[in-house]
Amino acid sequence: MTPFLALLTRDLRLSVREGGGAVLALGFFALVATLVPLGVGPDLNLLAKMGGGILWVGAALAALLSLDRLFQADYEDGSLDLIALSPLSLEGAAFAKIAAHWLSTGLPLTLLSPILSVFFGLSGSAVIALTMSLAIGTPAVSAVGAIGASLTLSLRRGGLILPLIVLPLLVPAVMFGAGMVLEAQTGLTNGAVGFLAAFSLAASLLSPFVAAQGVRLNLAG
Amino acid sequence: MFDWLFRYANPARFMGLSGALLPWLWSAALLTLATALYLGFSAPPDYQQGRTVLILFIHVPAAIMATNVYACMVVASLFSLINRHILADVAARTAAPLGAIFTLLALITGSLWGKPMWGTWWVWDGRLTSTLVQFFLYLGYIALWNAIEDETRAARICAVLALVGAVNIPIIKFSVDWWATLHQGESIMSGNLAGPFLVPFLVMMLFYMLLFVCLWLTRIRTLILERRLRSLMGAA
């Protein structure tokens, strides 16, 4: 097995086992999707209008929950030092970790979203657009999140700072993701899918390099 | 290439030069402020906006500084990462709160201007939204600095964040062209600002820049002195 695959499967295994947080993210997502309709009232027309945006915000926040474990847990128990010494470059390791985070968080959130969209009375085409947009956009959430996770990995209270530095950078994902749902609902072409795909690809390709730099700076001191 | 610059990157030499320059810079800043206020208040009322056009003189320079200060931070962060110089670390760190205040000032004055002109305190327009994001980027940067105890490590890590956050600068700049919603387009460089408003604006812009340089230098000096004091206390 190549070092890349070894790290990927290890991270995946850790995420689904006890204390991994993959299931917690799903629970958090489902709770957001339950609380918002209870808060704003059961008007399905209003909820359908907001649904795309709310579910996107919920998914992004849920994906952030498990980010502090991406590097921090490995830093605390020393395995990050071993990963840094392995034949796999830190950039490659960061990419493997981002991929594992997406497979254990972004993908399940995407698959759960059609079920939760029932709460918001989304039409069939809107549900398809939402699922598609999450499939395209959640890799960007994992990738941008990994930058924040790498910069805060040695902080004791990194979990509090992480959302503050990651969420402003996720504005395009939420905006264009919800934009795809809006396009399906209104029928007005807005090109959101192109922007979302571009952002997601660029973030996934560039963030391993930034995250590896962040890990290096934290391990050096 | 930057040899001439690094001669002043020596903290002792920097303290000498900045200490000699600061009184002059402060005097120049106060003088331009007085001139700008006089010119601004003697400018004629706009035929549509009346006296509210005066907000232009504090809003536009603040908004320009909101991005320019970030650009200063990015340059300092680059020097911090590449040359690992302590003065670059301190310069990047001290620019952030100043930039955050300029951004907040731009948001508040824009809101006060938006109410009479657009009929609303806030719209989710491209320029407004990207400026608000800019404010949060400053806050995140400051929070990260304060959370990391080791100053040298904090400087490097925050420098990476500053470089990542730089993607927002072109978004702010071109937001008025990409989403042509409510905020008006570029009108200074394109010569669409009439003379009676242009001159007070330019003087006020000069004041904002001088003010930033004065506050920045003062803050850098304070941090260098603080660091010196700490090492003295540690040695005693």
The reported pLDDT for the residue numbered B41 is: 83
- Number of CB pairs < 8 Å for A and B? 56
The 3-state DSSP class for residue B200 equals helix
Query: CB-based contacts of B216: which residues, under 8 Å, 6+ apart?
Result: B72, B91, B94, B95, B98
Per CATH, is B12-235 categorized as 1.10.3470?
no
Predicted confidence at residue B181, as pLDDT, reads: 65
Residue B46 phi/psi, 5° resolution? -70, 145
Contact B133 A168 (CB under 8 A): yes
Instruction: Give the closest of B139, B153, B165 to A221, CB-based.
Output: B153
pLDDT of B152 reads 86
pTM of the predicted structure, to 2 decimals: 0.88
> Is residue B137 less than 8 Å (CB to CB) from chain A?
yes
* DSSP element (H, E) containing B104: helix B86-118
Give the DSSP letter of residue B83. T
Kindly state the DSSP code that residue B186 receives in the 8-state scheme. -
- Return the percentage of chain B with pLDDT > 90, whole number: 39
Distance, in Å, from the CA atom of B165 to the CA atom of B67, rounded to the nearest integer, reads: 11
Write down the pLDDT at residue B127. Answer: 81
Cα separation, A51 vs A33, in Å, equals 9
Closest approach of B137 to chain A, Cα-based (Å): 6
CB pair distance less than 8 Å for A147 and B152: no
Q: Does B173 touch chain A (CB under 8 A)?
A: no
Q: Which residues pair with B46 in a beta bridge?
A: B50
Residue tagged 């020393």 (tokens): A78
- Which among B141, B143, B157 has the least Cβ separation from residue A217? B157
Q: State how far the Cα of A195 lies from the Cα of A177, in Å rounded to an integer.
A: 9
Q: Which of A112, A122, A141 is nearest to A200 (CA)?
A: A141
Residues of chain A with pLDDT under 50: none
pLDDT digit string, tens, across residues B156-183:
999 999 999 888 887 777 776 666 666 7
pLDDT on residue B12: 82
HEC profile for chain A? Answer: CCHHHHHHHHHHHHHHCCCCCHHHHHHHHHHHHHHHHHHHCCCHHHHHHHHHHHHHHHHHHHHHHCCHHHHHHHHHCCHHHHHHHCCCCHHHHHHHHHHHHHHHHHHHHHHHHHHHHHHHCCCHHHHHHHHHHHHHHHHHHHHHHHHHHHHCCCCCCHHHHHHHHHHHHHHHHHHHHHHHHHHHHHCCCCCHHHHHHHHHHHHHHHHHHHHHHHHHHHHHC
**pLDDT number for residue B161:** 93
In sequence order, the 6+-apart residues with CB closer than 8 A to the CB of A111 are A131
Instruction: For residue B91, give Cα distances in angstroms to A100, A113, B1, B65, B80.
Output: 38, 46, 20, 16, 9
What band does B231 get if pLDDT is binned at 50, 70 and 90?
confident
Domain assignments of chain B as residue spans, ordered by start: 12-235
Q: At what angle do helices B151-165 and B86-118 cross, to 10 degrees?
A: 40
Is A164's CB within 8 Å of B148's CB?
no
pLDDT at B86 over 90: no
Angle at B76 between CA B70 and CA B78, to 5 degrees: 105
Q: What is the mean pLDDT of residues B100-110?
A: 93
Testing the interface with A: which of B144, B145, B171, B174 to mutate, by most A Cβ within 10 A? B144
**In which residue are the tokens 């003697």 written?**
B42
Residues 148-167 of B with CB under 8 A from A: 148, 150, 152-153, 156-157, 160-161, 164-165, 167
DSSP label at B24? H
- Inspect the interface and report whether the beta carbons of A167 and B150 lie closer than 8 Å: no
Q: Is the ipTM above a cut-off of 0.90?
A: no
Bridge partners (DSSP) of residue B50 are B46
Question: What residue of B is the nearest CA neighbor of A171?
Answer: B133
Q: What is the pLDDT of residue A102?
A: 94
Cβ separation B140–A158 shorter than 8 A: no
Read off the tokens for B65: 């500084």
* Burial label, B191 (beta-carbon count in 10 A; 0-12, 13-18, 19+): exposed
Rounded Cα gap, residues A67 and B9, in angstroms:
38
Q: Do B160 and A168 touch (CB under 8 A)?
A: no
As separate numbers, helices (DSSP H) first and strands (DSSP E) second, chain B gives: 8, 0
For residue B52, the 8-state DSSP code is: G
Q: Mean pLDDT over residues B144-160, rounded?
A: 89
Asked if the model's pLDDT at residue B110 lies above 80, the reply is: yes
Instruction: State the first-to-last Cα distance of chain B, in angstroms, to the nearest integer.
Output: 40
* The residue to which tokens 């340089």 are assigned: B213
Closest CA to B205 of B45, B18, B65, B96: B65
Per-residue pLDDT of B112-138, as tens digits, reads: 888 887 788 887 777 888 889 999 999
CA distances to A158, B1, B140 from B96, in Å: 20, 27, 10
Q: What does each C-alpha distance from A43 to A33, A34, A92, A187, B203 come to in angstroms?
A: 14, 14, 48, 22, 54
- Are the C-beta atoms of residues B137 and B169 closer than 8 Å to each other? no
Please give the C-alpha separations between residue A205 and each of A5, A95, B24, B81, in angstroms, as whole numbers: 18, 8, 49, 22
Tell me the pLDDT tens digit for each residue of A70-128. Answer: 898 889 888 999 998 888 999 999 999 999 999 999 999 999 999 999 999 899 999 99
- pLDDT(B4) > 70: no
C-alpha B86/C-alpha B107 separation (Å) is: 32
Which pLDDT belongs to residue A147? 94
List pLDDT tens digits, range B39-71.
888 877 776 777 777 888 888 899 999 999 999
Please name the member of A155, A217, A221 whose beta carbon is closest to the beta carbon of B160.
A217
